[in-house]
Amino acid sequence: MGSAASDMGMTITEKILALASGRQRVSAGDVVVAKVDRVMMHDVGAPGVWDVFQELKSRGVDVSRLFNPGMIWMTEDHFVPPPDPKSAENVRLMEQMADMYGIKEYYRFGLGTYGVCHTLAYEEALVLPGQVYVGTDSHTVTSGALGAFATGMGHTDVAYILLNGKNWFRVPETILFRLNGRLRDGVMGKDVILRILGDIGADGANYMAMEFAGDGVRAMPLEDRMTVTNMTVEAGAKNGIMAPDEQVIEYYREKGKSGFPALSSDGDAEYRDVHDYDLGRLEPMVAKPHSPANAAELSEVEGLEVDEAYLGSCTGGKYYDMVQAARILRKANRKAKTRFVVVPSTTNVYRRMLREGLLDVFLDAGAVVGPPTCGACIGGHMGVLGPDEVAVSSTNRNFPGRMGHRTSKVYLASPATVAASALEGRITDPRRILGGGN
């Protein structure tokens, strides 16, 4: 199928789905059965997959062997360390599944490297450009920043893939976002995607691919690009994607991975819509309660008092995020004025923070630094909000009750903004502390 890449007029998303379904070409709207290269399960999805298997077994289906155990990787991230016995049972269930099916790539809390699945997928180079990657988490779209077709599915669909190695896909239409220029100091990938979400709305890309291109993308560090693709699902997108550039290829080379197809969209590919953004003019943004698409420039809510500043999650707990936040704290060199919760998204991030003195920076500011977990981001554990509490958070969702009580309010913002706001106890433009052009 090497010829697929030379066909004219396809987007990168179409090219990947064409390759995976053994076709010369596909177009938006086609329904194809595509082979899946990689599957991720975490402690929220795996128990559901297990239940599907048990039901199939009771119907006489053989579920004793998987299509290819090597395609699967697992991590525990949502309810770990377990806050209650039921969560602990789910971890036991995952151990059992790993044993039974011979799943080798299994990242376990308390046993070395583990963490929030989307950050781990990047750090451990578990997903390659050009692959079809499906996970039991909607933010699986994150890995599109590395050039994969990455999408979230429920546990029935994932169970199907585990047994059959493939699933059906409707080829999405693509909206192209051309990002030009460079972000100013104190402005981050989170601000980019909040701006876009505000412009297109919470269902602005429903069933579609959101593709990002332009020199603005190339100027962004990979981890910041991942924040952009991560939140494409907040516009309903099936996948977010960026063609792998030299930075991506070099990253994989360092990890000892090469030989993947570095696909990109053709110049005459068909897009449903094209949007241009000048990153050099972008202001820090927030998403006001209760939708990630309820975006506003930070200046609109500047000074609003918060009860908690939360720095963590797949859009705010990566190494790059921590470095940006710590820079602000170092510059200010004083204590936070509000409850400050810092959760590195993986043990890799945690270790680097320790080595490079970042943990001290956060502790000196008065923060509590937790172990890697999705806990508070989903209102699960490790710092959930009480009635009417207000948080500024580097996470990716602020639905009603998302981080705790249903009357609590979450303002989504960049890691830089969260750090600045922690220091002031109110929503604060990070550039005020960095001393840049504001």
Partner 1 sequence: MSPLRGRVHKLGDNVDTDQIIPAPYLKDLSPQNLAAHVLEGADPSFPKRIKPGDLIVGGWNFGSGSSREHAPMALRYAGVRAVLALSFARIFYRNAVDGGHVIPVVITEEAYRGINDGDEVEVDLESSVVRNLRTGTQYRIEKFPSIIAKIVEAGGIFSVGDLSRLED
Q: Nearest distance from residue 280's CB to partner 1, in Å? A: 32
Pairing of β 339-343 and β 273-278: unpaired
Question: With binding defined as CB under 8 A, does residue 138 bind partner 1?
Answer: yes
CA distance linking residue 185 with residue 431, whole number of Å: 7
Question: With binding defined as CB under 8 A, does residue 79 bind partner 1?
Answer: yes
Q: Nearest distance from residue 182's CB to partner 1, in Å? A: 32
Identity of the residue, 375 or 430, whose beta carbon is nearer to partner 1 in the bound complex: 375
Identity of the residue, 272 or 406, whose beta carbon is nearer to partner 1 in the bound complex: 406
Q: Which among 43-51, 176-184, 330-338, 342-350 is the span making contact with partner 1, rule CB under 8 A?
A: 43-51
- According to CB under 8 A, which residues from 90 to 119 bind partner 1? 90
CA distance linking residue 98 with residue 197, whole number of Å: 38
CA distance linking residue 260 with residue 262, whole number of Å: 6
Sheet holding 132-135, edge to edge: 105-107, 72-75, 38-41, 132-135, 149-152
Among 140, 142, 174, 414, which residue sits at the site for partner 1 (rule: CB under 8 A)? 140
Identity of the residue, 1 or 31, whose beta carbon is nearer to partner 1 in the bound complex: 31
* Mask for 404-433, x = binds partner 1 (CB under 8 A): --x---------------------------
CA distance linking residue 190 with residue 321, whole number of Å: 10
Among 25, 48, 182, 330, which residue sits at the site for partner 1 (rule: CB under 8 A)? 48
Q: Which two three-digit tokens encode residue 162? A: 């585990």
Q: Nearest distance from residue 222's CB to partner 1, in Å? A: 24
List Cα–Cα distances, 362 to 25, 365, 393, 418, 422, in angstroms. Answer: 51, 5, 16, 12, 11
Place of tokens 């952009």: 228
Of all helices (H) and strands (E), which one includes residue 31?
A: strand 31-35
Question: With binding defined as CB under 8 A, does residue 402 bind partner 1?
Answer: yes
Among 378, 412, 416, 418, which residue sits at the site for partner 1 (rule: CB under 8 A)? 378
Among 65, 70, 110, 206, which residue sits at the site for partner 1 (rule: CB under 8 A)? 206
Q: Nearest distance from residue 152's CB to partner 1, in Å? A: 4
Give the dihedral sign, CA 412/417/423/427: negative
CA distance linking residue 201 with residue 211, whole number of Å: 16
Among 7, 25, 35, 51, which residue sits at the site for partner 1 (rule: CB under 8 A)? 51
Q: Nearest distance from residue 418's CB to partner 1, in Å? A: 21
Among 1, 96, 104, 207, which residue sits at the site for partner 1 (rule: CB under 8 A)? 207
CA distance linking residue 209 with residue 168, whole number of Å: 16
Helices (H), 64-154: 85-101, 117-123
Pairing of β 308-312 and β 339-343: parallel
- According to CB under 8 A, which residues from 237 to 296 bind partner 1? 238, 291
Q: Which two three-digit tokens encode residue 136? A: 């039991």
Q: Which two three-digit tokens encode residue 352? A: 């680097």
By CB under 8 A, name the binding residues for partner 1: 30-33, 44-45, 47-48, 51-52, 56, 61, 78-79, 84, 86-87, 90, 135-138, 140, 152-157, 159-160, 164, 166-168, 170, 202-203, 206-207, 233, 236, 238, 291, 378-380, 397, 399-402, 406
